[in-house]
Amino acid sequence: MKYKSMFVALAVLAMIAVAGPLHAQVGKSLGVVDANIAPEKELLTFPNMTPAIVKGLIEKRPFAGITDLNAYLVSQKLTPEQAMQFYGKAFIHINLNTATPEEILLVPGAGKRMVREFDEYRPWRNYAQFDKEIGKYVGQEATDKLKQYTFIPINLNTATDEDFLTIPGVGARMVREFKEYRPWKTKAQFDKEIGKYVGDKETARFWRFMTIQ
């Protein structure tokens, strides 16, 4: 009986290890910044950026997604290769659970294979799952590079401080506000309450990373 109980306990621990913690719901950056909040001075150091392109980019922020940013860069006469060089430094995170093939193909190093793999394992719940499934195909180093371009929507009603702090531009003040209005019920409520602190544009940028469950 003693050994049976020990076996059950070990099995439970193994299941927890596989599932992984529900933290880091925005992929950890290995040097890629969020193009929606990167400072002008930093953007100017990135490949194929000119003062005019950077000025227009800042005026149009926040972009709703990477395809909108890509459309802007195309309008500025950047080739797909030049845009991809820029994405190696700055990007708009894609939602692992809803990203379209067009969005995934803009992730440096993704290609058509990741279009298929990202879709196959939906719904993604955490990055432990991502490491396990994608790592089988490309190894951990390449998996880490891919996930810095992605996010898994964060549940406003259950997220930890650590979850919230993975969102680019979120600090202690916004973590406090996100938690103060729980339970969240609607996007309209989020727009109203968070908009009081940061304005409509920043509220819209935050909302990209959120879900209410």
Q: What is the DSSP string of 132-147?
A: HHHHHHHHHHHHHHHH
Q: Which pLDDT value is given to residue 74?
A: 98
Q: Which pLDDT value is given to residue 23?
A: 57
Q: pTM of the full predicted structure?
A: 0.88
Query: By C-alpha distance, which of 130, 132, 136 is closest to 118?
Result: 130
114 Cβ neighbours under 8 A, 6+ residues apart: 104, 107, 134, 146
Q: What is the Cβ-side half-sphere exposure of residue 11, based on CA atoms within 13 angstroms? A: 6
Secondary structure of residue 91 in the 3-state scheme: strand
Q: Which pLDDT value is given to residue 19?
A: 40
Name the amino acid, one letter, at 105: L
* Two tokens, residue 109: 């190093």
Residue ranges in the chain whose pLDDT is less than 50: 1-22
Helix, strand, coil abundance in the chain, percent, nearest 5: 55, 5, 40
